[in-house]
Amino acid sequence: MGIFDLNGKTVLITGASRGIGKALSEEFLNSNAIVYGTGSKEESIEWMKGTGIEGRVADISKAGSMAPIIEEIKSKHGKLDCLINNAGIAVNIPAVAFKEEDIYKIIDTNFVGMFRTCQAYYKTHKLIGGNIINVSSVLGLVGYSLSSVYSGTKGAAIQITKSLAAEWVNNNFRLNAICPGFIDTDMNKMIKDKPQVFESVSKGIPMKRLGKPEDIAGAAIFLASDASSYMTGQIIVVDGGLSSLL
């Protein structure tokens, strides 16, 4: 594979229990990386048993949850080559109906949890260097109905990426982000469950379909590999062309 070779590279993927995170875990394993994946509960990582993927329980919304896993990987393998911050949650609630607990649940996972995980990785690797891929969303770039708080946190994920890329570049860290569009996962179940909404959303995407979780893997493998060694602070949008119209 040359510059795209991931053989022997250690990769940690948060939110690997399903959807995009699960697809990333499988595709990185297929690319001969050493893969660790997290889920918030023991049952959410059951699927990893026997696959070759190392599952770990961690709720990134809780302070200190990721540091021990990063330390473990560094101790076993010498370093963590790539951290993929994929864990995230979304709700479809009208802005006026948000309760305090709804707001902070999303912020604590999508923004604070992502930041803390980046911070934990940097603290253990600042003398070694590292590579971070933050999974944001096309809704971090454009506005969309019923996505106010979620969009805000995903926009923040983009700015975390750009700011830390500038701040940590002298410690040999690279940070880039991927912005998926509407992907066929449980997070978009409400779209799939409503035929009229599903048809409307699909027609609005130039490629006329929702993305598949594995559609995100190519961009992630590129960013995790030496093929992107001169890239930092950048955003790759994988949305079937949706944002080109907005």
Sign of the CA dihedral 217, 222, 225, 228? negative
Give, as one character, the DSSP assignment of residue 99: -
CB 223 within 8 A of CB 178: yes
Both tokens of residue 118? 């980046």
CB 133 within 8 A of CB 224: yes
SS (H, E, C) 31-56: CCCEEEEEECCHHHHHHHCCCCCEEE
Instruction: Give bridge partners of residue 56 from the DSSP assignment.
Output: 38
Residue 109: name the closest of 186, 38, 53, 163 by CA.
38
Residues 6 or more apart whose CB falls under 8 angstroms from that of 98 comprise 148, 149
Establish whether 150 is a catalytic residue. Answer: yes
Sign of the CA dihedral 124, 129, 130, 134? positive
Both tokens of residue 126? 């600042």
Instruction: Name the catalytic one among 121, 144, 150, 230.
Output: 150
Residues 6 or more apart whose CB falls under 8 angstroms from that of 68 comprise none
In the chain, the amino acid numbered 135 is V
In the chain, the amino acid numbered 244 is S
Which segments of 99-194 are extended strands (E)?
130-135, 173-180
In the chain, the amino acid numbered 113 is G
Query: Which residues are annotated as catalytic?
Result: 150
